Amino acid sequence: MDRKIKILLAEDEVLIAQCLKMELEMAGYNVCSFVAKGEEAIITAEKEEPDILLMDIHLSGKMDGIEAAKRIIEHRKIPVIFMTGYNEIAIFEKASAINPVAYLEKPVELFELKPIIESIFS
């Protein structure tokens, strides 16, 4: 792929988001934005048209990452990778209902993400 893969990062922990953004950009990806709220993710996805969503499940604001991802993919089919610090079956089942590409437990490392992202676009 000649152009960089564009990623929308939704993560409410600023330090984690900044570190992940830096790692992804050093690996050659374009992180178009990072947002902390589900509502912001919807608006940003519409405006930026990312190739993939990297979405924390628990975001600040009224809307969680699962609901935000669901609303985004209703308008535009886009692969979703969920990240979470919670290992609960009910959350996993709710997230699985929208068929994410992956469901990763935090801390998420680049060596986990890169093969997933590359497999989507190869």
pLDDT at res. 54: 98
Q: Please tell me the pTM assigned to this model.
A: 0.94
Task: Print the domain residue range for 53.
Answer: 6-121
Residue 114 pLDDT more than 80? yes
Query: Please, what is the angle between helix 38-48 and helix 65-75, to 10°?
Result: 30
Q: Is 37 part of any domain?
A: yes
The two structure tokens encoding residue 22: 């830096």
DSSP letters, 79-106, are -EEEEES---HHHHHHHHTT--SEEEES
Total number of domains in the chain: 1
Q: Is 42 part of any domain?
A: yes
The letter for the amino acid at 12 is D
pLDDT of 39-72, one tens digit each?
Answer: 999 999 999 999 999 999 999 999 999 999 999 9
Residues 45 and 37 sit within 8 Å (Cβ to Cβ): no
Q: Is 14 part of any domain?
A: yes
Question: What is the band of 122 on the pLDDT scale with cuts at 50, 70, 90?
Answer: confident
Q: Is 108 part of any domain?
A: yes
17: Cα within 13 Å, side-chain hemisphere = 19
CATH assignment of the domain containing 40: 3.40.50.2300
Measured CA to CA in angstroms, residue 29 lies from 18, 21, 100, 121 at distances of 14, 9, 20, 12
pLDDT of 81-90, one tens digit each?
Answer: 999 988 889 9
The two structure tokens encoding residue 122: 């190869």
Q: Is 67 part of any domain?
A: yes
- Give the three-state DSSP class for 19: helix
Quick check: bond before 107 cis, omega within 30?
yes
Q: Is 1 part of any domain?
A: no
pLDDT at res. 3: 76
